[in-house]
Amino acid sequence: MCHRRPVRIFVTGATGLVGENVARDLAARGHEIIAATRATFTLEAPSIPDAVDGVVHCAAITSVAACEADPVRAVALNVHATAWLAREAAQRRIPLVFTSTDLVFDGSRAPYAEDAEPCPPTHYGRTKVDAERAVLDTDERHSVLRLALVVGARRGQPGGFLEWLVRGLRERTPTPLYVNQRRTPLFVGDVAPIAEAALAGRLRGTHHLASGESLSREAIGRAVARAFDLDDEAIVATVLEREARFAPIDDCALDTRKLRALGFAFTPLDRALTQIASP
């Protein structure tokens, strides 16, 4: 595929935070999008429509707790379905871009470059590592984008963790945010141009997508309060205990030098939040 030539792209998980935005942004960049909903696509019995030129795979069980609660289902939907899609795409000689996560790392050795060895402490993270391997082992056209904690809007409202956070701040519900868990939040609008480059064969292998700022959950919460003009008194600075049910993931900062060297830029958190708060 040539870069920027309009092509038909199949986006799975297009009702989710990442998929909705990637589908819309790729359409705005001139591509024809086939956006998967549950009515047309399930991870239980995956399929790729006819005559598509590439796949962006965003459908997954994304809840860490849901993966811990039903690990067999998590493997079936996050790993086996992804492997099937990768094989099917390879047979059709079309590229597949797989959306993975910073949670493939345990947070003890940040920042992580692409060649750092994954060491996920959660079942969710393990399913994503296994899916990454299946994708990359299947076809050299396929690629993996590891996303940091994503900030963005879904259906016009704050999406993902922002949905919970903004609601808590608006309703002044005590909102515990960890002071010892750090992330490099990624603006969802930064994903589509990179997915487009991967589909066009300009990126091979694995790439890390994240802003340059490593912030605690608490600092992210206060930035959200500022951007949405909300009182931050509901934020309860909390220490994530080592014996927490799911192993703590202290600092999963992703090193993005590889993509930045290719000319891609990442939106700072404050600018991203302002855009989400006042679209």
H or E element that contains 151? strand 150-151
**Window 59 to 88, contacts with ligand NAP (CB under 6 A):** 59-62, 77
**Window 140 to 199, contacts with ligand NAP (CB under 6 A):** 147, 149-150, 160
CB of 183 to ligand NAP, least distance (A): 9
Site size with ligand NAP, rule: CB under 6 A: 23
H or E element that contains 251? none
Applying CB under 6 A, among 3, 4, 30, 44 the residue interacting with ligand NAP is 44
Q: Which of 82, 87, 93 is nearest to 56 (CA)?
A: 82
Cβ nearer to ligand NAP, comparing 2 with 72: 72
Does 33 contact ligand NAP by CB under 6 A? Answer: no
To the nearest 10°, report the CA torsion of 52, 55, 56, 58.
Answer: 100
Amino acid occupying residue 25: D
CB of 135 to ligand NAP, least distance (A): 11
Cβ nearer to ligand NAP, comparing 60 with 172: 60
The stretch among 34-42, 134-142, 174-182, 248-256 that binds ligand NAP (CB under 6 A) is 34-42
Applying CB under 6 A, among 38, 202, 204, 260 the residue interacting with ligand NAP is 38
DSSP code string of 48-77 = --TT-SEEEE--S---HHHHHH-HHHHIII
* Closest chain position to ligand NAP (CB): 16
What residues contact residue 189 under an 8 Å CB cut-off, 6+ apart? 21, 25, 152, 267, 272, 275
CB of 164 to ligand NAP, least distance (A): 12
Cβ nearer to ligand NAP, comparing 74 with 197: 74
Please state, in angstroms and rounded to a whole number, the distance separating the CA atoms of residues 274 and 252.
24
Query: How long a stretch of residues is the chain?
Result: 279
Please give the residue ranges that form the binding site for ligand NAP (CB under 6 A).
13, 15-19, 38, 41-44, 58-62, 77, 99, 101, 147, 149-150, 160
